[in-house]
Amino acid sequence: MKTLPKKQPIFANDGWKVVENGFDEKNNFLSETIFTVANGYFGLRGNLEEPFYDKKQTFKATYINGFYENYDITYPEGGYGFAKIGEAMVNLADVKSTKISIDGEEFSIFSGKIIEHKRELDLREGILKREILWESPSNKRTFIQFERLAHLKYQHLGIIKIKINPINFSGNIKVISSIDGNSSNMLETEDVRVGSGVEKFPFKTLKTWANSLSGFLMQETKKSKLAYGCFANHILDFEAQCNSKADIEKNLVIFEISFNASKNREYSIIKYFSYYTERDLSKELIEQNCINEVSNAITLGYEKLLSEHKDFIDKFWNISDIEIDGFEGIQQAIRFNLFSLLQSTGRNGISNIAAKGLTGEGYGGHYFWDSEIYILPFFTYTNPEIAKKLLIYRYNLLDAARDRAKELHHKGALYPWRTIAGSECSAYFPAGTAQYHINADIVFAIKRYFEATNDIDFILKYGAEIIFETARFYVSLGSYSQEKNGKFCIHCVTGPDEYTALVDNNAYTNYMAKMNLEYAVYIYDLMKNEYPEVLDSLRKKINLEQSEVNEFKTRAKDMYLPYNEKLKIIPQDDTFLSKKRIDLSTIPEDQFPLLLNWHYLDIYRLQVCKQPDVLLAIFLLRDLFSYEDLKNNYEYYEPVTTHDSSLSPAVFGILATELGLLDKAFEYFRYTVRMDLDDLNNNTKDGIHAACMGGSWMGLIYGFAGMRTKNNKLYFAPKLPKELTYISFKIKFRNSDIKIEIYNNKAIYTLIEGDEIVLSHYNIQFSLAKEESKEFLIE
């Protein structure tokens, strides 16, 4: 097992908070990511309010999920079917920045004296709080507080509250608030994982106006031609002189609030702001919707808005919270991760979960298979209505996926490896388009969603069409090979492990494509028997004949599933086992991640894995494999896996638990769950690792609680590592909410809500009636 990084925590440990005491400029990039507040629609990176001036350790950003600019993907030597037009999430007008001057002395973290500085992300309230006790160069002490939130219920609304208290003086205070449309994007850097092809300032400002304490700015992207608007208004609890100015040339709206402050009184300014884009509604409606959003908010008032925000988050925690006792920092980290997932996740059917959430520009704000395989499990079993929206997003991309399949001369639909609005944005096809498993990953998530919810309406309206079109695609992708005993093979693909590319018969792809084909037949038969009219109209719509469904069945039956008798393992692909096996201990630490330090050709030539591939197939399709299969493959692939992808350790941890390797399992879990809070991969500055966060939920639920599903039933096989003494969590399955509590020696299952349910604890099957609890020993 490769040694996994460990670091001293940067943030104070607290079960419900992430706290930064003091201010250390060198951690600021990281803090900005960690202190992001977002609501699935927009995200405010955790920048300080006051200007940073010439200091470099900051990246000021605001994003809207699914709002993008296009860019040309250029190749000196291009090729047919290469991705040509990229989409990247863009940095939008900033409303956070605020200048505060005390009798002409401007507050800055770098001037005067910072006597106290504290930032706190309250995970139970969903609010970022900041407190500063500042002494100006002429010894005037001011206590300044900021609160920032992205409203979870009203997703177009954000609020910033500023409180200023002159401690030892009376004097003039000036606050300059703004809507600053000069935000810039990160350019492509040496790190292939950060920056996009979008230009630094990709906007044309269409409109600005200001009127007393309210103002509006509207911009449009130069290439994607998408407009967005931002409106703000301020409510003060004191008399002040207010001036505002809108300057379209400078892309700026500013509000100047000047007042004579008395010693020891608190002055409060509440800034309400809203964003709408042309992806939500037509351009003409943006301005009015922005204004209405804020006006309604002001009518409701701060306290009411806060309580509605809190109600939303209470409901979320009520079903999603995981309580953990044991190893320090695990409780805090899991809550931070689950909260970050909520913050990152689009809920409108036209957005999804970017690899870095709404916290930074890593991976261009693109959506990957990360959503379906690593993050959806959490939502499917706790907040299925969010899971549904994420899957509807995929449905809304189906036409684009059909076009892409056609472009590549295939049938059915091929989902893009990375995208925002549907076009393939992966410029490096060997680790992009070639990852044809994305289709089956989406179908796998649909299958799990349907199993967990029995939401037949979803299948009839959206799911079936995706399942049939992707099955069609795999039929046209593969071919029969006499060399492989007349089996159906899939050539020239890349599996999940990006350190091996363009191979034949990648086991993961073949197994998952087979699952996709079989599930298409299952759903077809189910519809034929129970919803023949819906099936008829879908068949007409997509021209699906019974003969084609018969093909799905035969291709699935004939699928080539590789196995190596001598080693008793599944070869990752046709040539993997013949390559030179790497000894990871001979590679200096500074060479990892290999992708940044080695040419891909040198990586592809070796038996080395970035992340689980065969092992992921075993985990996802667990029923198809024996314990021996799991053990043999784990022992074979673990020593050659670098975990250079943050998606990797969670799956190893889950499988290690099943194999009884609890020390290893905990180590993989620790690394997964603390990835961002401790910046273990040194790149959280570019954004959170959303899939890894989903992996931390999986590590607890599939790993230590041993949850599996089979034939529409839930199974548990709990086993805690010595570092943990208690875990408790809830699962929604069908019409039941179940609470599971795990101690070192026993597990308690309670049906808190819903219909009687049959569960299994290891091989003991039992049923639970409403509010009934049953306890079992863990050997």
| Contacts with ligand BGC, residue ranges (CB under 6 A) | 355, 363, 368-370, 496, 498, 610-611, 645, 647, 691
Distance CA 636, CA 584 (A): 13
Give the closest residue to 174 by CA, choosing from 267, 306, 309: 267
- Angle of helix 464-477 relative to helix 398-407, nearest 10 degrees, comes to 10
Nearer to ligand BGC, 89 or 175 (CB): 89
Nearer to ligand BGC, 255 or 368 (CB): 368
- Shortest distance, position 431 Cβ to ligand BGC, whole Å: 7
Nearer to ligand BGC, 261 or 355 (CB): 355
Q: HSE-up of 322 (CA within 13 Å, CB side)?
A: 29
- Shortest distance, position 770 Cβ to ligand BGC, whole Å: 41
- Shortest distance, position 78 Cβ to ligand BGC, whole Å: 24
- Shortest distance, position 684 Cβ to ligand BGC, whole Å: 13
Nearer to ligand BGC, 24 or 191 (CB): 191
Distance CA 397, CA 549 (A): 23
- Shortest distance, position 435 Cβ to ligand BGC, whole Å: 8
- Shortest distance, position 417 Cβ to ligand BGC, whole Å: 8
Nearer to ligand BGC, 287 or 686 (CB): 686
The owner of tokens 């959430």 is: 357
Hey, which bits of 248-398 come out as E strands?
A: 252-261, 267-277, 323-326
**Three-class secondary structure of residue 748 per DSSP:** strand
Nearer to ligand BGC, 320 or 611 (CB): 611
Nearer to ligand BGC, 370 or 465 (CB): 370
Which residues have C-beta within 8 Å of that of residue 228, sequence separation ≥ 6? 64, 67, 92, 218, 219, 220, 275, 276, 277, 278, 286
- Shortest distance, position 142 Cβ to ligand BGC, whole Å: 43
Give the single-character DSSP code of 55: -
Task: Please report the DSSP string for 256-290 in residue order.
Answer: EEEEEEPTT--EEEEEEEEEEETTTS-HHHHHHHH
Handedness of CA 369, 373, 377, 380 (dihedral sign): positive
Contact assessment for residue 209 and residue 216, using Cβ atoms and an 8 Å cutoff: yes
Catalytic one of 20, 69, 120, 498: 498
Element (H, E) at 205: strand 203-211
Q: Which amino acid is at 345?
A: T
**Three-class secondary structure of residue 777 per DSSP:** strand
Which residues have C-beta within 8 Å of that of residue 520, sequence separation ≥ 6? 467, 468, 470, 471, 549, 552
Is 498 assigned a catalytic role?
yes
Catalytic residues: 498
